[in-house]
Amino acid sequence: MKHVHLTAAALLLLGLDPSAAKAAIACADLAKTENQPSDVTITEAVVTPPGEEVSVAHCLVRGKTPDRQGIDGKTYAIRFELRLPVEWNERFVHQFNGGNDGAVVPAIGPLLGGRKSDTALGRGYAVVSSDAGHDGNANPDRGLAGGAAFGFDPQARRDYGYGAVATLQPIAEQIVEKHYGKPIAYRYGIGSSNGGRHGMMAAERMPEVFDGLLVGYPGFNLPKAAIQHALDIQAWSTVDPDIAKAFSRDDLKAVADGVLAACDSLDGVSDGIVADADACETTFKLETLACASGAITGCLRPEQIEALKTSIAGPKDAEGRALYTHWILDTGIASGNWRTWKLESSIEPWAKRPIIGVMGAASLAQVFTTPPTDVGGTPDELIAFLRDFDVARDGARIAATDETFTESAMDFMVPPGADNPRLDAFREAGHKMLVFHGNSDPVFSVVDMVDWYKKLDANHDGKASDFVKLYRIPGMPHGASGSSFNDFDFFTPLVAWVEQGKAPSGVAAGITEDNAEAASLEGTRFLYCPYPAVTRAGADPAAEGEGRYTCR
């Protein structure tokens, strides 16, 4: 839905002065008190020339909302930066950041594909980014748990979940329109992982605001996924107390090779890609990888098979009810990304512990359970917290409240109605959402995303694709990498959908020069299809590029 841009004649008819409406404010003058939005302090407003990180000249604005004192004695504010390109296309992007937030990531508007140089700012969009209301470095005494220690303050939890985006959006819009002296024509939100969750949250809580949302591999059920971290650490520990040794790189390659051997041809093209993931889920069996007598390579030991089966089944409560969802096995399990998240990172200060074992543990303890747990901040203490976490008993704490924390993690982190999504107000506003998710994601199960979309589609009589598109990315782990065609652009088709009414269908993709893990893929181009369509052999399977494929 295009936002109204009144002509000078129309403004005169309304009794308004068109010269005032078009009066732009110079970059440096945005920091003057009289030009600042109420309850906001602009700390910097400078003209910035093109450089290595940012390819276009722009006005860099930094600021914050008023300081407040948390119940934990810490000082909180929403800190942000806004970049306003000299050559502006009259459009705005809210950059939703990932992880635990806690830092003002440069507001350049990554477009989430493998080609990092392609940004919203570089395309002429004004872009805002924030720390979501807390400073991740405010608690150095808590060691590696410090980045999630904001969870001891209820308001900081709320701002992290949804409050910061809602507070910052009108502030950023006001600064943009003051600087350029004209209204914003279209508003977009872009984010992946926790940033993707921010986008889905905005669609529910702020349905009238964003004309288009680009959502990558979202953690929209993040508290539930955090319970999975504990399950994984416990499962890996049954194989080896040193979880990095539970599965070698060759072990995970054996799984990927087994999946590929069983499922590559199910989509009609043998190309190193398992496009028909649903068919593969019922075709491939882990037991086929069991080591024969005397074999030690290219296969899995019984305890490894059981550990993987426990992990992909997902966490359960004491009655056997699912606390999250299940997972599928895909070729990206052999990627460095999958290993870094699940088993072993290269981060020396973390003692090379996996991301789920450090950041995941700190978040589950301090942000996603009520009351928060004062967890130790060493790598061993964080791993021990997950190893000792009683999944069946304590998993319910993600939905708990008390007198101090009156919103549960499921309330402040998860989009309202996620179990029965409708997005009626978002749809009625004419807004669009494009979601993509890797089938090999080790952090948030693609099954959860597919189930959400199926429910949305059922609630709209099979017409959810009129306003939401979901793309599954074979081989892709948590981000544009792995044994996948990672050079894609989902933002351009989203914009065409929003502004021209051209609904996206197949999206062509290639491989970036630095993606060595995609070397085994056949060909240089692929075609991603909107769910439930699957990428299959086209009329000429021997053709070069994406032309060898079709969506059906």
Look at strands 126-130 and 91-96 and give their pairing.
parallel
Under CATH, what is the fold of the domain 25-221? Answer: Rossmann fold (3.40.50)
Which residues carry out catalysis? Answer: 193, 441, 478
Domain ranges of the chain: 25-221, 223-413, 431-551
Q: What is the dihedral of CA 121, 158, 315, 193, to 10 degrees?
A: 0
Using N-to-C axis directions, what is the helix angle for 222-237 and 379-388, rounded to 10°? 100
Question: Tell me: the pLDDT tens digits for 107-147?
Answer: 999 999 999 999 999 999 999 999 999 999 999 999 999 99
| pLDDT given at position 15 | 35
| pLDDT given at position 22 | 55
Q: Which residue ranges of the chain lie beneath pLDDT 50?
A: 4-21
Three-state secondary structure call for residue 505: coil
Question: Tell me: the pLDDT tens digits for 443-466?
Answer: 999 999 999 999 999 999 999 999
Please state, as a whole number, how many other Cβ atoms lie within 10 Å of the Cβ of residue 351: 17
| pLDDT given at position 540 | 81
Token pair for residue 396? 């319910």
Token pair for residue 445? 């199960």
The DSSP line for 350-417 is GTT--HIIIIIHHHHHHTSSSS------SHHHHHHHHHH--HHHHGGGGG---SS--S-HHHHHS-TT
Question: Tell me: the pLDDT tens digits for 187-214?
Answer: 999 999 999 999 999 999 999 999 999 9
